[in-house]
């Protein structure tokens, strides 16, 4: 079972973690999360009729970080036997690293960017990617409680990519949090455990033809009538690939551009 950790400000050490499911597939730089020794992330949407996965990322006890797609090994850090109690993190410059002895790096992605908040994830295409810095986040405060786990053994998609277009329905889902585009075209972030609306766009339309999209500069839109804008996030950056993530703390974040990957989309 993958665990959420916090890192000490004065040195990188493991604190008492909050729970994450093995079906998680993202770690963050802020607040820091990690893949701990012996843990793995799983990504498989095929039971839901979506041809993404199965994929897994394992932080083995022998300190090798291994990626598998369709049960075949596709990538590894090749750090077997170089340390003990290794873990994977991503830092505030977007560099991922496998470390041991609290803060000693055995492997790194080797790409740095400007200081900010970054996300490291297993992508829908079976590769790994790092996106950031964050260019937009929802205005609701982060939740300090564990969201629980309604679907402990089922992958739910909580990452949305540039160029994607999704109609009225559930857009993203992470544990008890759901981002839903309602029939009236209001984009709503719900806590299904409490019934609380954590954030919303406040948009409405009688045409019932609205959709959500994230463009190549990281701007999030609610549109209707094919292309008319009902709401926009208002934050843009360098054209490339971006993600919208429904985070473990019940907030939304747009990260990008992509700064590192093991498997390009094209």
Compute CA distances 76 → 90, 240, 258, 263, whole Å: 16, 26, 20, 13
* 8 Å CB contact between 211 and 205: no
Mean pLDDT, residues 166-182 taken together: 96
**CB–CB of 188/177 below 8 Å?**
no
Local confidence band at 223 (pLDDT 50, 70, 90 cut-offs): very high
pLDDT bin (cut points 50, 70, 90) of residue 13 is very low
Structure tokens at 41: 């992330």
Q: What is the mean pLDDT of residues 231-244?
A: 97
Pairing relation of β-strands 177-181 and 187-191? Answer: antiparallel
**Residue 34 CA: distances (Å) to CA of 18, 25, 205:** 11, 11, 41
- How far is the C-alpha of 22 from the C-alpha of 90, rounded, in Å? 18
Q: Which domains does the chain have, with CATH numbers?
A: 3-135 (2.90.10.10), 136-260 (2.90.10.10)
The pLDDT of 243-257, averaged and rounded, is 97
Q: How confident is the model at residue 21 (pLDDT cuts 50, 70, 90)?
A: low
Average pLDDT over residues 165-171: 96
Tell me the pTM. 0.90
Q: What is the DSSP string of 79-106?
A: -TTS-SS-EEEE-TTS-EEEEETTTEEE
* pLDDT for 146: 65
Q: Which backbone phi and psi does 102 adopt, to 5 degrees?
A: 75, -45
Q: What pLDDT does residue 256 have?
A: 98
- Average pLDDT value over all residues in the chain: 89
pLDDT at 14 over 70: no
Residue 10 pLDDT exceeds 80 = no
Is it the case that residue 5 has pLDDT exceeding 60? no
Strands ordered across the beta sheet of 177-181: 169-174, 177-181, 187-191, 196-200
27 vs 225, residue with greater confidence: 27
Element (H, E) at 260: strand 258-261
pLDDT per residue as tens digits for the range 44-95: 888 888 888 899 999 999 999 999 999 999 999 999 999 989 999 999 999 9
Looking at residue 147, its pLDDT comes to 58
Model confidence pLDDT, tens digit, residues 95-133: 999 999 878 999 999 999 999 999 999 999 999 999 999
Task: Note the pLDDT of residue 213.
Answer: 98
To the nearest whole percent, how much of the chain has pLDDT over 90?
A: 75
- Summarize the confidence of residues 226-249 as an average pLDDT: 96
Mean pLDDT of 215-228: 95
């Amino acid at each position: 079972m993958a665990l959420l950790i916090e890192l000490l400000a004065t040195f990188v050490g493991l604190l008492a973690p909050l729970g994450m499911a093995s079906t998680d597939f993202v770690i963050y730089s802020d607040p820091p999360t990690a893949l701990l020794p012996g843990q793995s992330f799983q990504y498989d949407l095929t039971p839901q009729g979506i041809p993404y996965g199965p994929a897994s990322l394992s932080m083995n006890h022998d300190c090798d970080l291994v990626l598998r797609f369709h049960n075949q090994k596709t990538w590894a850090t090749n750090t077997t036997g170089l340390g003990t109690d290794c873990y994977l993190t991503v830092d505030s410059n977007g560099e991922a690293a496998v470390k041991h002895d609290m803060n000693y790096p055995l492997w790194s992605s080797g790409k740095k960017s400007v200081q900010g908040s970054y996300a490291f994830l297993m992508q829908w295409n079976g590769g790994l990617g790092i996106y950031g810095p964050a260019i937009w986040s929802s205005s609701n405060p982060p939740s300090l409680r564990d969201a629980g786990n309604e679907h402990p053994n089922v992958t739910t998609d909580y990452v949305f990519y540039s160029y994607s277009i999704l109609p009225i329905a559930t857009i993203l889902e992470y544990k008890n949090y759901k981002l839903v585009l309602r029939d009236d075209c209001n984009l709503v972030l719900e806590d299904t455990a409490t019934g609380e609306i954590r954030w919303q766009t406040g948009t409405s339309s009688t045409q019932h033809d609205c959709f959500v999209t994230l463009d190549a500069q990281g701007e999030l839109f609610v549109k209707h009538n094919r292309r008319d804008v009902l709401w926009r996030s208002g934050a843009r950056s360098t054209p490339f690939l971006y993600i919208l993530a429904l985070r473990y703390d019940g907030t939304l974040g747009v990260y990008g551009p992509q700064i590192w990957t093991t498997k390009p989309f094209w």
